[in-house]
């Protein structure tokens, strides 16, 4: 049975390598672990990324929150989640040097390929980040696994660090999550630059120096332009997501309250609003 388990483990690793898991950049990258590969805890999520134009697989609430932070950052150009620490012989060797047990599959008891939650391209360099609840940092076993990971990246001169929920600004994440899916709003092309510009003008005029709520201002635009209810509010989310509108992202954006727009990017809205 032990031999069969070992062969199964090796076969699975070879299969994922053949599928191209853990290689590529941007849209071509495939995570080593997809959502369906891991027993669901109800927290796994697939998110379409606007930087990579592909589906990202995150496995916890904290991973999802950190992903939104990376999406929002102007200096991050690529996000690779569940990046494999290959070849497995290297992490096995590190574990042996440390005289600790290498992580294994709970069923087969065979060594598994370790992954780092995020390998991020920042400018012309890469940084590796592991996501973990702060409550688990006191676990000796967790620290052992982290040391394997740290040494793996140190050999490659890549900065590695741990991110917990304490490092993530909740309000910023909530605001990014609210606007995120409208970054590539399909209505932009359908409506055309004239209508999109009209939405922007009406909403800005309505909220400027007024106590009218954002939702009410968007409703005014829908009514004046004969649009389906909710169209203008979705477009506002698009303006914020693409950073055409600069707002205070550290303050909760609540549609039932006024929105303070700090500045508006002045350019060809037909091109800027399309997103990418």
* Model confidence at 100: pLDDT above 90: yes
Percentage, residues of the chain above pLDDT 90: 86
How far is it, in rounded angstroms, from Cα 253 to Cα 231?
18
Query: Quick one: pLDDT at residue 39?
Result: 73
Query: Quick one: pLDDT at residue 268?
Result: 63
138 shares its domain with 257: no
Last-in-domain residue among 134, 167, 200: 167
Query: Quick one: pLDDT at residue 106?
Result: 85
Last-in-domain residue among 125, 148, 167: 167
Q: What is the pLDDT of residues 123-142, one digit of tens each?
A: 999 999 999 999 999 999 99
- Point out the least confidently predicted range of 58-67, 99-108, 151-160: 99-108
Domain that holds residue 147: 2-167
21 shares its domain with 142: yes
Averaged pLDDT of the chain = 92
Q: Identify the CATH number of the domain in which residue 222 sits.
A: 1.10.10.10
93 shares its domain with 228: no
In this prediction, residue 42 has a pLDDT band, given cuts at 50, 70 and 90, of low
76 shares its domain with 185: no
Return the exposure string of 166-196: e unless at least 16 CB atoms fall within 10 Å of the residue's CB, then b: eebeeebbebbebbbebbbbebbeebebebb
Percentage, residues of the chain above pLDDT 70: 93
Name the domain count of the chain.
2
């Amino acid at each position: 049975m032990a031999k069969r388990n070992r062969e199964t483990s090796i076969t699975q690793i070879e299969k994922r390598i053949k599928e191209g898991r853990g290689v590529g950049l941007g849209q071509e990258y495939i995570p080593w672990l997809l959502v369906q590969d891991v027993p669901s805890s109800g927290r796994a999520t697939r998110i379409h990324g606007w930087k990579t134009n592909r589906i990202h697989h995150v496995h916890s609430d904290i991973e999802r929150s950190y992903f939104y932070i990376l999406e929002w950052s102007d200096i991050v150009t690529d996000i690779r989640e569940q990046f494999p620490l290959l070849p497995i012989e290297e992490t096995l060797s590190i574990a042996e040097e440390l005289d600790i047990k290498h992580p294994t599959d709970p069923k087969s008891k065979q060594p598994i390929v370790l992954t780092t939650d995020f390998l991020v391209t920042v400018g012309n360099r890469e940084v590796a980040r592991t996501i973990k609840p702060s409550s688990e940092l006191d676990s000796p076993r967790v620290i052992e696994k982290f040391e394997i990971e740290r040494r793996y990246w140190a050999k490659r001169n890549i900065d590695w660090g741990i991110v917990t929920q304490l490092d993530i600004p909740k309000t910023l994440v909530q605001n990014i999550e609210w606007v995120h899916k409208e970054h590539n709003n399909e209505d932009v092309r359908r409506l055309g630059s004239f209508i999109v510009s009209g939405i922007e003008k009406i909403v800005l005029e309505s909220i400027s120096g007024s106590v009218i709520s954002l939702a009410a201002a968007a409703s005014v635009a829908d009514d004046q332009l004969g649009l389906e209810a909710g169209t203008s509010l979705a477009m506002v989310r698009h303006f914020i997501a693409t950073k055409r509108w600069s707002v205070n992202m550290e303050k909760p954006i609540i549609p039932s309250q006024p929105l303070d727009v700090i500045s508006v990017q002045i350019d060809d809205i037909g091109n800027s609003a399309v997103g990418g």
